[in-house]
A and B are shown apart, each in its own frame.
Chain A
Amino acid sequence: MLKRRIIPVQLLVNGRLVKPTRFDTWRDVGDPVKSSKVYNDQTADELVFLNIERGGRTIEPLLTLIQGVSEVCFMPLSVGGGVRTFEDAKRLILGGADKVVLNEACYRSPAVVKAISDAFGAQAVIASVDVRGADGKWACFSDCGRAEEPVTLDAHLAGLEAMGVGEVMITSIDREGTMTGYDVALLNHVTTRTALPVIGHGGCGTYEHMKEAFLGTRADALACASLFNFGDNNPLRAKAHLANSGIAFKVV
């Protein structure tokens, strides 16, 4: 039986690990290669790195990072933020990434997404979908939450499969960094509208929030940053806590 996954998300600015709130006002929380090594030892299920620099973003910081991380981490590694072209994805995957995370490209250039999927396989493509809103009314945003997209969430999700996307990471911008809990209604909405594996993200502040989202939705994985960035929390402890509720994780 496939296990649920816990995925630490690491956000980057100028090669440093940062943590924002609602996509804004970030603070420095450390060195990403060192933290990744620790996550590897704490048997995190995979790692996601997102470059959230504004303006003039290139893939160079991710490329440097992935080379360092792939020497110390033997687990699935996903990178995103500023991945625009087929060549960007190719350089990152050949450089050590297993998956690229695409957001804007899914709205602007479906043909590029399809080309990446055709060349590297659907499993190498995560579509990151950022939304604002609640209670059945969610609007899609791109450009680090700054540009509202005209497409509805349902229409966008439907389009992703045709583009050859292999996984969907859904982020509630309103919850991001607030540590007030996942938007469970959003996760339920998305998991029933796509046949793709779904990674829920945004708002996790306690292990109880994970429990609520794992037990209350069919999300395949939960991603979080704040919980592990601040305080004495880590994937090992999270799983020890959640195992009490019968949620199955990998046995190592």
Chain B
Amino acid sequence: MIGIVDIGLCNLRSVEKAVYSRGGDPVFVKGAGDLKDVEKLILPGVGSFRAAMERIHDAGLYDPIRAFAAKKPVLGICLGMQLLGGWGDEGGGTKGLDLVPGKVTRLEPGAGLRVPHIGWNTVELTRPHALFEGIKPNRDFYFVHSFHLVPADPADVLGRTVHGPTFVSAVARGHVVGLQFHPEKSQANGIKIISSFLEWDG
């Protein structure tokens, strides 16, 4: 089964339908008990870093997610990628899951560029990865966010995107992957990534 962490207020239906459409068996994870039969975990989400971390703690999922990630594949999407980081600046600062060490800070694209960064933008891979297999270089994916994860270890960077300055739009550390864009909203290429995650051995 493919676990989708449900920390409340966001649209999980698209992730669920995307997994289902590629032959996966999606199940929502609301507490540690739901992780029992899960082989792979997706950490989706939009919204506030602080609120999301509070919900993870309230659901008693902080340690179970970290323990899961030590053994099995985890995919963080959008806010889910940011939660993989060690620290979120937003709202006075909050500790993250610390699976991909780094800090989450606000996008500062500079004059004339808008925040939130909403729309289709190019992801340039810094190295090949199983999740991007079969996808041509420099394709566009759908972004919608105001914050981004700055990994502490450059070796964790998987992809970059330009919005004013370049920011890290994908990370991979062992079998933990984070994508700042929404594969479940990125049509054919996005669904290909979901499909590759289902097949991935981690």
A residues in contact (CB < 8 Å) with B = 1-3, 5, 40, 43, 45-46, 67, 70-71, 74-76, 90, 93-98, 119-124, 166-167, 195-197, 220-221, 249-252
Residues of B that sit less than 8 Å from A by CB: 9-14, 17-18, 21, 46-48, 113-114, 116-122, 138-140, 142, 144-146, 162-163, 182, 184-191
8 tightest A-B CB contacts, nearest first: A250-B140, A250-B120, A96-B13, A121-B47, A123-B144, A3-B120, A123-B116, A2-B119
Q: How far is the CB of B185 from chain A (nearest CB, A)?
A: 5
B75 to chain A, nearest CB (A): 16
List chain A residues, Cβ under 8 A from B47. 119-121
Interface centre among A90, A96, A167, A252 (most CB of B within 10 A): A252
| 26 A-B pairs with C-beta separation under 8 A | A1-B122, A2-B113, A2-B117, A3-B119, A5-B119, A70-B14, A71-B21, A75-B187, A76-B142, A93-B9, A93-B10, A94-B12, A95-B13, A120-B9, A120-B46, A121-B48, A122-B116, A123-B118, A123-B146, A166-B116, A166-B118, A197-B114, A197-B116, A252-B140, A252-B188, A252-B189
A76, B139: Cα distance in complex, Å: 17
- Complex Cα distance, B97 from A124, in Å, reads 25
Nearest Cβ on chain A to B128's Cβ, whole angstroms: 19
Distance between Cα atoms of A196 and B113 in the complex (Å): 9
Chain B residue with the shortest CB-CB distance to A43: B187
- B120 cross-chain contacts in A, Cβ below 8 A: 2-3, 5, 45, 249-250
Q: Looking at B9, B18, B145, which has the most chain A CB atoms within 10 Å of its CB?
A: B9
Majority-rule SS of A interface residues: loop
Nearest B residue to A196 via CB reads: B114
Partner of A76, one of B48, B113, B185: B185
What is the CA–CA distance of A251 and B121 in the complex, to the nearest angstrom?
Answer: 9
Q: What A residues does B145 contact at CB under 8 A?
A: 123
* Least distance between B189 CB and chain A CB atoms (Å): 6
In the complex the two chains form, what is the Cα distance from A200 to B188 in whole Å? 26
Give the shortest distance, in Å, between A124 (CB) and chain B (any CB): 7
Task: Kindly state the separation between the CA atoms of A74 and B117 in the bound complex, as whole angstroms.
Answer: 19
A5 to B117, CA, bound (A): 13
CB pair B18 A251 closer than 8 Å: no
Judge whether A74 and B187 touch: CB under 8 Å.
yes
Q: Which of A76, A122, A167 has the most CB of B within 10 A?
A: A76
Contact status A94-B11, CB under 8 Å: yes
Q: A2-B119, A74-B190, A75-B185 are in contact. Are A96 and B14 (CB under 8 A)?
A: yes
Contact across chains for B139 and A251 when beta carbons are under 8 A apart: yes
Inter-subunit contact A1/B191 (CB<8 Å): no
- Docked Cα-Cα span, A120 to B14, in Å, equals 15
Q: Are A251 and B11 in contact (CB under 8 A)?
A: no
Nearest chain A CB to B25 CB, angstrom units: 16
Question: CA of A97 to CA of B113 in the docked complex: distance in angstroms?
Answer: 26
Q: Report B-chain residues with C-beta under 8 Å of the C-beta of A121.
A: 46-48, 116
B190, closest chain A residue (CB): A74
Bound Cα distance from A90 to B11, whole angstroms: 9
